[in-house]
Amino acid sequence: MSITIDKPPVKTRTDKELSPKYTLTAEQLDAFGEEMDAIRQRIVADLGEADASYIRKVVKYQRGFEVAGRVMFYVPPLWPAAVAALSVSKILDNMEIGHNVMHGQYDWMGDPGLNSRMFEWDTMAPSENWKYGHNYMHHTYTNIVGKDRDVGYGILRMDEEQEWRPYYLGNPLYAFLLMTFFEWGVALHDLEVEEVVAGRRTWAENRQIAARIWRKVRKQVAKDYLVYPLLTGPFFVSTLAGNAVANLIRNVWTFNIIFCGHFPAGVATFTVEETEDESRGGWYYRQLLGSANITGSKLMHVMSGNLSHQIEHHLFPDIPARRYPEIAVEVREICERYGLQYNAGPLHQQLFSVAKKIFRLSLPTRSPRPAPEATAAETPLAA
């Protein structure tokens, strides 16, 4: 199976009536799209040795942290350091390397070890399944409620447009569980269980996907919970516990970074009707308004796989992520010129905003009357 990599639609002109969610005229939207295309072309033409040596350096660090972590489990007093090194390794592997490589950001290098068709990452979800759900479904239909399964992942209520059911009273609990078992959640996400339950998908369609999950999970479990613990002999239990904690730390970190990407307050969602027959400009507009950035240090950006620049990532998903900070300067300037929102804030602020939303949406949205009242209802619930 080959995967369609997320690209803006081919259609360049906006030729339909836009919903009031679009603050630009059709002409402005097309011009905005052209400015984005120009950035893409310029960066793609400039890719080269610096990008290649950057990603190779990150790979080197990741492998180094991994080996160091595995070895330090032989020395019990170093247990915390071992867990820390292994956590860093897994985070780098999943984010700056895995996520970005599987987007095809480094396919131009022609290196099979960094190729989106061949790369496999250190987590439960098999790359083949994940690429379909993420690169195709999520990046193409970003924030279209009912189409983008990453809006609530089929378990959470993350948008008012999702109709409230008593089930959602558990929203905060489900979010907590998803955070704790995030790698399992990501792996199972591709089975689209909620679609099967709704009768829109059959188990037969899942056979191949489930078989891939089973194969991958077996290897991951054997490695972290059997082979490496056995190798450390008398320290079996402490190694096993260390590996589990490293996986947990990675789960919590990646969950939080990812949730800050699309769920902070102010991030727009769209309906299927609004995005029908979308032009390039419209696609870019939706990616911009449907994503949020995290501001912070260079280390934070690397450890988030530069997904702290979620906006730039959604505008240019297949451009090497190390370029996002330089692109962000331009995107911000363009947004200012067009009077468009550019959602960015420090980690704690975005996290708080997401948490507030998770709690607020566990309860039914108050009557669909004018906005001020709904806003007024927010505060006591969040507290």
Partner 1 sequence: MSIVADATTRVLRSRFAAALATPHGVDRYLELVNPMWAANEVRARIVDITREVDVPGHPPVATITLQPTSTWRGHRAGQHVQLGVEVDGARRTTRVFTVSSPDSKAGDRFTITMRANPDGVVSRYLVERATVGTMVHLSQARGEFVLPDHVPDHVVFISGGSGITPVMSMLRSLQRRTHRGRVTFLHYAQSPDHQIFAAELEEIRRSGYGIDVHLLHPELGDPALSPAYLERLVPGYRDVPTWACGPAPLINAVHGAYDGSDALRVEYFKPPAVGNGNAEGDISFTRSGATAANSGATLLEQAEAAGLNPTFGCRMGICFSCTATKLEGTVRNVLTGETSSLPDEDIRICVSSPEGDCAVEL
**Residues near partner 1 (CB under 8 A):** 2, 4-5, 7, 9-10, 47-49, 51-53, 59-60, 63, 67, 107-111, 113, 120-122, 216, 219-220, 222-223, 227-228, 231
CB of 17 or CB of 276, closer to partner 1: 276
CA 29 to each of CA 34, 278, 316: distance values in angstroms, whole numbers, following the listed order: 9, 11, 17
**Which residues have CB under 8 Å from 5's CB, separation 6+?**
103, 104, 116, 135, 317, 318
3-state secondary structure of 219: helix
CB of 205 or CB of 333, closer to partner 1: 205
- CB count, 10 Å around CB of 330? 16
Instruction: Give dist(CA 133, CA 231) in Å, integer.
Output: 36
CB of 173 or CB of 230, closer to partner 1: 230
CB of 110 or CB of 199, closer to partner 1: 110
CB of 13 or CB of 366, closer to partner 1: 13
CB 250 within 8 A of CB 125: no
Phi-psi bin for 9: left (phi > 0), alpha (psi -120 to 50), beta? beta
- CB count, 10 Å around CB of 346? 12
CB of 220 or CB of 362, closer to partner 1: 220
Instruction: Give dist(CA 289, CA 358) in Å, integer.
Output: 20
